[in-house]
């Protein structure tokens, strides 16, 4: 596990009622459990913006969490928006042919305006 950047999650609620989760570090088998907990809980409450600008790595476990959260949001009538998706994460979404599943925005501000 040496060389891995631990996952940092920051959750804030906006005046609009949307939740913004800022993620930095690496999303892997171990850290995806924490992300799943926070993300599913947030999308079950309403619109959620996931700020991925600080993510350096995301494996298939992370992709699974994103897909689960998208599904949970749709089932609840809420929305998951991905913001500031780094190239490395975008590549994994493209390779798994799931990029089109998500609403993707250049930054958090754009995601909150929509």
Q: Looking at the predicted structure, is the pLDDT value of residue 78 above 90? A: yes
- Model pLDDT for residues 42-52, shown as the tens digit of each residue: 999 999 999 99
Determine the average pLDDT of the residues in 16-38.
Answer: 96
Edge to edge, the sheet with strand 80-83 lists: 8-13, 19-27, 48-58, 80-83, 103-105
100 within a domain of the structure (yes/no): yes
**Whether pLDDT at 3 is above 70:** no
**Is 3 inside any structural domain?**
no
How far is 48 from 111, CA to CA, in rounded Å?
Answer: 9
Rounded mean pLDDT, 22-35: 95
Q: Can you give the pLDDT at residue 88?
A: 87
Structural domains of the chain, count: 1
Residue 2 belongs to a domain:
no
Q: Is residue 47 part of a domain?
A: yes
Q: Which residue has the tokens 């958090």?
A: 108
The answer to whether position 85 is within a domain reads yes
What angle is formed at CA 11 by the lines to CA 10 and CA 16, rounded to 5 degrees? 140
Please indicate whether residue 96 or residue 19 has the higher confidence score (pLDDT). Answer: 19
Residue 73 belongs to a domain with what CATH number? 3.30.750.24
> Do 103 and 81 touch, CB atoms closer than 8 A?
yes
Range of the domain at 96: 8-113
């Amino acid at each position: 596990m040496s060389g891995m950047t631990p996952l940092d999650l920051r959750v804030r609620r906006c005046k609009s009622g949307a939740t913004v989760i800022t993620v930095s570090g690496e999303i892997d088998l171990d850290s995806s459990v924490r992300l799943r907990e926070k993300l599913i809980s947030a999308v079950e409450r309403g619109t959620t913006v996931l700020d991925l600008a600080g993510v350096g790595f995301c494996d298939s476990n992370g992709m699974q969490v994103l897909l689960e959260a998208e599904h949970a949001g749709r089932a609840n009538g809420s929305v998951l928006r991905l913001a500031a998706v780094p190239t490395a994460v975008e590549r994994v979404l493209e390779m798994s042919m799931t990029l089109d599943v998500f609403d993707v925005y250049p930054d958090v501000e754009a995601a909150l305006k929509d």
